[in-house]
């Protein structure tokens, strides 16, 4: 009942719950519930026989007068309480007045109990005095508990009721009167202390409750703001990444065309430098794309047995050159027959990022990559991979943050040669995706040790390790046979022209289109063998939708989607469609290999 009342009152307050007024409202609601119409009438069965008893044993009409006054006070309070019930929801400005009215009614009722020893003539004899003291002590106990929501209501009832009894006992005098007065005073003090504590506890509890609710409300608002900001950031980054990839895609293809041209030595050297810069920029964008694909769940592992020896041989081929350039030793140690269960490409990427990170932050000494089976501490059946370097090390306070995106140590100038600070964040995601637990231990100026645990296999159905790029960037295959007639759809003129130049240089006839209407017109008029389309196109439909339609209506056509999208949801949609795709910026050889397939 109380919970329902509190819920209804709280809902009616709305935003007012953030102010102290809410506490007063709840306290008053509890007081009104406890002093309901039925409870207001409850003292009558106790006061009536008491007054009749004293009237019959005496010669005065004062007991009946007291009883009549008692009835008037009780019924007046009853009528006021009924009016409050009919009043409806209370307004904020009405709360003090309503509380004052209840305090007044409670005071009058306490005063009537305080007048009982005098009007009933109980102060004249010991036995009636003791009898009436029992009634008043019971009334104070019960009444104080009922009105214990406010200090003023407790005092308004208890003090006048006890004061009348104490004064009557002192008037009677003697040892009995003194003892009764002392006991009544002590009882009053103890009752006030206990009930005041209850009232304070209620007020504090309500205050804490509303403060927590207000804090939770403000926290929810902040979370919503952060989520909105994060969504806006994601949309901005996706749009910015797409806009950056568009011109870079054209630059990459134009550079490929220039590399095949006959140029003088100086121009050829300039083109070589340009090509290197484009590749470095491509690598940066592809690394950020890897993050998006992993977060989107667009990379799913294929678990199979993998020979550690062949895995290490592949990693050695990939990183021995960069180690030699820095004059570092790169060593691999593992039993020749060790086999683990993992995705060969993703595991290669995970360990490769750790090795690449170790080489970048090691100035002297070298890097050790080792694998051990049968490791202790509850890891039976697992193989522990370790990448140990003699580099700058990582302080304890930075060891968790190094897995955050773009966080780098000892690179305040953001030197591009030290990477983007994304490699370890990819390692963390791959570790979670493959369910390969990972640990880090490091000491500044002493080096760093990364540990990765992979389940051991029994050696059957072995798959050789491959240096492919872990499936995050589409692998390049040797071209077989290019289609003769290719329809290229892209709303960016530079991208259309660049792809056309690359394909024409390989003997293809290219039909460029800037939108789907023009593409459909060319498709109907020319013998098209393959369609290459951008994702974002003018109009309501995108390139993916168009290629899916072509796959149903013209299954003989080769289709290829070229996109600069990095939004996780769109990456997932593209991947699940089954349409072959490449991410911009696309290298010329990637484009040719994809069309040849």
CA–CA distance, 141 with 190 (Å, rounded to integer): 10
Which residues have C-beta within 8 Å of that of residue 490, sequence separation ≥ 6?
496, 499, 512, 513, 514, 533, 534, 562
- 266-281: average pLDDT: 75
Q: What is the pLDDT of residue 233?
A: 66
For the chain, helix, strand, coil in percent to 5 are 65, 10, 25
In tens, the pLDDT along 66-123 reads 999 999 999 999 998 888 888 777 777 888 888 888 899 999 999 999 999 998 887 7
Q: Apex CA 574: angle with CA 465 and CA 527, to 5°? A: 100
pLDDT above 60 for 377: no
What is the predicted pLDDT for the residue at 17?
A: 43
The phi and psi torsions of 550 (rounded to 5 degrees) equal: -60, -35
d(CA 308, CA 305): 9
Q: Looking at the structure, do residues 375 and 279 belong to the same domain, yes or no? A: no
What CATH code is carried by the domain that includes residue 579? 3.40.50.2300
- The per-residue pLDDT for 530 is 92
Q: Helix (H, G, I), strand (E, B), or coil: what is residue 477?
A: coil
Q: What value does the mean pLDDT take over residues 450-479?
A: 56
In the numeric block, which tokens belong to residue 329? 């030793």
Task: Tell whether 158 and 32 lie within a shared domain.
Answer: yes
Pick the more confident residue, 156 or 268.
156
What does the alpha-carbon distance between residue 441 and residue 453 come to, in Å, rounded to a whole number? 14
Structural domain contains residue 336: yes
pTM (predicted TM-score): 0.46
Most confident residue range from 153-162, 369-378, 456-465: 153-162
Structural domain contains residue 293: yes
Q: Which band of pLDDT confidence, cut at 50, 70 and 90, is reported for residue 502?
A: confident
**pLDDT of 467 strictly over 90:** no
Whether 414 shows a pLDDT value over 50: the answer reads no
Which band of pLDDT confidence, cut at 50, 70 and 90, is reported for residue 472?
very low
Three-class SS state of 445: coil
pLDDT, position 290: 61
* 235 domain-assigned: no
How far apart CA 119 and CA 112 sit, in angstroms, is 10
Average of per-residue pLDDT across 234-251? 68
Residues 106 and 120 in one domain: yes
Whether residue 262 is predicted with pLDDT greater than 90 in this model: the reply is: no
Q: Quick one: pLDDT at residue 296?
A: 58
Determine how many CB atoms are found less than 10 A away from the CB of residue 324.
11
Q: Could you tell me if 285 and 314 lie in one domain? A: no
Residues 6 or more apart from 157 whose CB is under 8 A from it? 106, 107, 109, 110, 140, 143, 144, 147
Of 10-14, 83-87, 232-236, 284-288, highest mean pLDDT: 83-87
Of 348, 342, 350, the residue nearest 303 (C-alpha): 342
Lowest mean pLDDT among 32-46, 156-170, 181-195, 254-268: 254-268
Question: Is 481 in the same domain as 422?
Answer: no
Between CA 452 and CA 383 the distance in angstroms is 8
Question: Percent of the chain beyond pLDDT 70?
Answer: 81
Give the chain's domain count.
Answer: 3
List Cβ neighbours of 584 (8 Å cut-off, separation of 6 or more).
245, 246, 248, 249, 562, 563, 564
Asked whether residue 344 is domain-assigned, the answer is yes
Mean pLDDT for 422-449 is 83
pLDDT, tens digit, 9 for 90 and up, residues 277-303:
776 666 666 665 566 666 656 567 888
The Cβ of residue 102 has, within 10 Å, a number of other Cβ atoms equal to 23
Task: Note the pLDDT of residue 331.
Answer: 92
Domain termination site, one of 175, 210, 245: 210
pLDDT above 70 for 412: no
Q: Considering only residues 589 and 277, tell me which one the structure prediction assigns the higher pLDDT.
A: 589
Q: Does a structural domain hold residue 581?
A: yes
Pick from 34, 36, 191, 44: nearest CA to 113: 44
Using CB atoms within 10 Å of the CB of residue 555, give its burial: 0 to 12 exposed, 13 to 18 middle, 19+ buried: exposed
List residues bridging with 187 in a β-sheet. Answer: none
Same domain, 79 and 116: yes
Model confidence pLDDT, tens digit, residues 516-557:
999 999 999 999 999 999 988 888 889 899 999 998 898 889
Which residue would you say has higher pLDDT here, 13 or 521?
521
Q: What's the confidence (pLDDT) of residue 577?
A: 87
35 and 89 inside one domain: yes
Note the pLDDT of residue 5. 43
**Domain co-membership, 291 together with 385:** no
| Whether residue 465 has pLDDT greater than 80 | no
Q: Which residue would you say has higher pLDDT here, 474 or 62? A: 62
Whether residue 255 lies inside any domain: the answer is no
Average pLDDT of the residues in 386-402 = 77
> CB of 185 within 8 A of CB of 171?
no
Q: How far, in Å, CA of 523 to CA of 401, rounded?
A: 53
111 and 11 in a common domain = yes
List the single range of 97-111, 341-355, 371-385, 480-494 with lowest mean pLDDT.
371-385
Q: Which domain holds residue 594?
A: 260-299+474-597
Residues forming beta bridges with residue 387, ordered by sequence position? 369, 450
Res 19: pLDDT: 56
Looking at residue 417, what is its pLDDT? 47
For range 31-56, the mean pLDDT: 88
Query: Would you state the pLDDT for residue 258?
Result: 78
Helix (H, G, I), strand (E, B) or coil at 504: helix
Per-residue pLDDT averaged across 242-271, rounded?
Answer: 75
| Cα angle, residue 180 at apex, residues 174 and 183 outer, rounded to 5° | 140
Write down the mean pLDDT value for the chain.
80
Burial class of residue 7 (count of CB atoms within 10 Å of its CB; 0-12, 13-18, 19+)? exposed
Judge whether 427 lies within some domain.
Answer: yes
In this structure, are 279 and 332 located in the same domain?
no
Quick one: 423 and 550 in the same domain? no
CB atoms within 10 A of CB 256: 23
**More confident call, 197 vs 404:** 197
Tell which of 210, 244, 278 closes a domain: 210
pLDDT band at residue 16 using 50, 70 and 90 as cut-offs: very low
- In a shared domain, residues 51 and 92: yes
451: Cβ–Cβ under 8 A, 6 or more apart, which residues?
384, 385, 386, 438, 439, 440, 441
Q: What is the CATH number of the domain that holds 427?
A: 3.30.565.10
Q: Is residue 254 part of a domain?
A: no
Strands (E), 399-508: 438-443, 447-455, 485-489
């Amino acid at each position: 009942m109380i919970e329902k009342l509190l819920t209804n009152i709280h809902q009616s307050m709305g935003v007012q719950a953030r102010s102290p007024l809410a506490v007063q409202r709840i306290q008053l609601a509890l007081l009104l519930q406890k002093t309901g119409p039925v409870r207001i009438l409850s003292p009558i069965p106790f006061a009536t026989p008491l007054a009749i008893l004293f009237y019959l044993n005496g010669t005065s009409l004062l007991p009946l007068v007291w009883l009549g006054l008692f009835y008037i006070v009780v019924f007046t309070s009853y009528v006021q309480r009924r009016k409050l019930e009919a009043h409806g929801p209370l307004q904020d400005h009405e709360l003090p007045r309503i509380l004052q009215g209840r305090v007044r009614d409670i005071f009058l009722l306490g005063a009537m109990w305080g007048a009982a020893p005098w009007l009933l003539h109980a102060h004249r004899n010991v036995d009636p005095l003791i009898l009436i003291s029992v009634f008043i002590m019971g009334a104070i106990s019960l009444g104080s508990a009922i009105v214990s929501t406010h200090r003023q209501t407790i005092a308004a009832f208890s003090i006048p009721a006890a004061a009348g009894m104490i004064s009557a006992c002192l008037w009677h005098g003697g040892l009995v009167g003194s003892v009764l007065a002392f006991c009544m005073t002590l009882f009053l003090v103890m009752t006030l202390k206990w009930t005041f504590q209850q009232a304070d506890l209620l007020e504090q509890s309500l205050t804490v409750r509303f403060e927590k609710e207000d804090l939770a409300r403000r926290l929810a608002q902040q979370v919503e703001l952060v989520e909105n900001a994060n969504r806006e950031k994601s949309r901005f980054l996706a749009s910015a990444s797409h806009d950056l990839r568009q011109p870079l895609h054209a630059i990459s293809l134009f550079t490929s065309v220039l590399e095949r041209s006959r140029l003088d030595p100086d121009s050829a050297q300039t083109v070589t430098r340009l090509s290197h810069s484009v590749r470095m920029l491509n690598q940066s964008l592809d690394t950020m794309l890897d993050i998006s694909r992993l977060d989107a769940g667009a990379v799913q592992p294929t678990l199979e047995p993998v020979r550690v020896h062949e895995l290490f041989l592949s990693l050695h081929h990939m990183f021995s050159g960069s180690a030699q350039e820095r004059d570092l030793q790169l060593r691999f140690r593992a039993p020749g027959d060790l086999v683990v269960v993992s995705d060969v490409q993703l595991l290669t990427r995970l360990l490769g990022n750790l090795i690449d990170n170790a080489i970048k932050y090691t100035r002297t000494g070298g890097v050790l990559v080792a694998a051990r089976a049968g490791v202790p501490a509850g890891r039976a059946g697992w193989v522990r991979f370790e990448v140990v370097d003699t580099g700058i090390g990582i302080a304890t306070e930075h060891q968790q943050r190094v897995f955050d995106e773009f966080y780098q140590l000892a690179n305040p100038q953001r030197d591009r040669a030290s990477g983007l600070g994304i490699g370890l964040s990819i390692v963390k995601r791959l570790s979670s995706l493959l369910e390969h637990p990972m640990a880090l231990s490091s000491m500044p100026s002493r080096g760093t040790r990364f540990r990765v645990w992979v389940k051991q296999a029994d050696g059957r159905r072995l798959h050789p390790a491959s240096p492919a790029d872990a499936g995050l960037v589409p692998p390049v295959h040797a071209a077989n046979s290019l289609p003769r007639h290719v329809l290229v759809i892209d709303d960016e003129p530079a991208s259309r022209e660049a792809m056309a130049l690359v394909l024409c240089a390989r003997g293809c006839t290219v039909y460029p289109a800037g939108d789907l209407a023009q593409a459909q017109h060319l498709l109907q008029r020319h013998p098209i063998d393959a369609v290459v389309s951008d994702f974002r196109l003018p109009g309501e439909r995108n390139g993916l939708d168009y290629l899916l339609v072509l796959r149903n209506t013209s299954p003989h056509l080769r289709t290829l989607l070229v996109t600069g999208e990095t939004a996780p949801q769109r990456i997932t949609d593209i991947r699940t469609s089954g349409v072959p795709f490449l991410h911009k910026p696309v290298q010329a050889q990637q484009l040719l290999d994809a069309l040849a397939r």
